[in-house]
Amino acid sequence: MKQFFVLFAVTFILALATTAALMYLKPNGIHNLFSTSTDSLSIVDTAVAQSDTTIIKKDANKNLLESSTVRWEDTVAVLKAQLLTKEKLISDLNKKIQQQVQSSDSLNALKEAQFAKLMEAMEPEDAARVLENMKDSEIKKILLKIKVKQASKILGSLEPKRAARIMN
């Protein structure tokens, strides 16, 4: 209905413009207005054809715009789904990493406890010689897991400057 109205309006305006042009260009313009000359009919036919072409082009552009909007919306939906999948994968991987870190911490704590028991059973001088090859932070962790009396004997067997660093 809208297209028909647009076509009618365009045709009417073109007819008026044609009539005005004929009146201006020909002295007997009013008389020729009602004549059915081939020129005026062909001008009107050309104007109608041009308006039809314009309407068809507008419809094609509208359809193209609507289809590109649909394609864009489909693309956005696909990308959102992919994003959700990736976020879930990242979340699952983070959980696995946390579990492995906890497992690793547990193993390290177990190793330290076993090593502390081993150091506790050794003679203080022998334990000090073994600990000399370790970092101060590792020695401190191990000594904190040994009974105080044995830890003090081992600490006393270490070089005094190093023993002072470990105590801080």
Residue by residue, pLDDT tens for the chain (168 residues) are: 667 666 676 777 777 677 766 666 655 544 444 454 455 556 556 655 666 667 777 777 677 667 666 678 888 888 999 999 999 999 999 999 999 999 888 888 888 889 899 989 999 999 999 999 999 999 999 999 999 999 999 999 999 999 999 988
For the chain, the distance separating the N- and C-terminal CA atoms, rounded to the nearest angstrom, is 91
pLDDT of 29: 44
73 shares a domain with 154: no
Domain that holds residue 129: 122-168
Whole-structure pTM value: 0.43
pLDDT of 76: 87
Q: Which of 121, 137, 159 corresponds to the end of one domain?
A: 121
Q: Give SS3 for 42.
A: helix
52 shares a domain with 102: yes
Q: Give SS3 for 36.
A: coil
CA-nearest of 122, 123, 117, 129 to 162 is 129
Which residue carries 């946390």 as its tokens?
A: 98
pLDDT of 80: 92
CB of 30 closer than 8 Å to CB of 23? yes
- Domains in the chain, number: 2
